[in-house]
Copies of this chain bind each other. A is one copy, B any other.
Amino acid sequence: MPHDALPSERDLAEQFKVSRMTVRAAIGKLVSEGRVYNIQGSGTYVGSKDIFSKAPRLTSFTEDMAARGFTPSSKVISARRVAADRLVSQRLGIDEGDQCTHIRRLRLADGDPMAFEDVYIPATVLPLEDFQLSGSLYAQLAQAGYDVFRSEQEVTSVIVEGEEAAFLDVPTGSAALCVTRVSSTHHGKLVEFGRTHYRADRYSFRFAVTRESSER
């Protein structure tokens, strides 16, 4: 039950015949997932049941939807070679006018529109002719030698209208959750600038935050 105490770390260590540091490492993972929380001098307690994670993770749309209990699918609206404009070149750290692969996709959950996505990838990373209409984009990037490792995200709120609203099957002027991200490899190579507009009536972020003792 939420807020019930776990056995103490020393008890768990004895019970499972491991050292206390090992128990702490395991509990630390659960804490970072928001499943349990610690109170110094008191104990470790079970978190609330309906929170998935304490912190957002780097997940693909496919993984995200599966975790939410939906069956994901995608429809590529367009895939073009374009010259990077000011915004795209800044975010991807390339020169204005450099060639990029621009992909627009409608993302569906259980067959209904969930999000509309714009992705820009430097042509040097994934040229248009190598892009496959089906299959995970991250998998294609990985195959090209660009494993996505880190993503810097910005979440805000936007109004959708026109063509985009039509694709999402919502009235013009509806609210959408806008997630903009720049993804990079281990080595800091910027491989993707993407913007996803999630239907506000179908999608939200949930997470738990704690006033930690590790506060600085």
Contact = CB atoms under 8 A, between A and B. Distances in A.
Copies in the complex: 2
Contact of A155 (B148, B177, B211): B177
Interface string A50-63: 11001111100000
Interface string A152-188: 1111111100000000000001111110000000111
A204 interface: yes
A132 interface: no
A210 interface: yes
Contacts of A214: 29, 32
A129 to B, nearest CB: 27
Nearest to A189: B3
A150 B207 contact: no
A187 B55 CA distance: 22
Contacts of A198: 157
A69 to B, nearest CB: 17
B200 A158 contact: yes
A140 interface: no
22 contacts: A2-B188, A3-B187, A3-B188, A32-B32, A32-B214, A54-B55, A55-B209, A57-B209, A57-B215, A148-B211, A151-B208, A152-B206, A152-B208, A153-B207, A155-B204, A155-B205, A156-B204, A157-B158, A157-B200, A158-B200, A159-B159, A159-B175
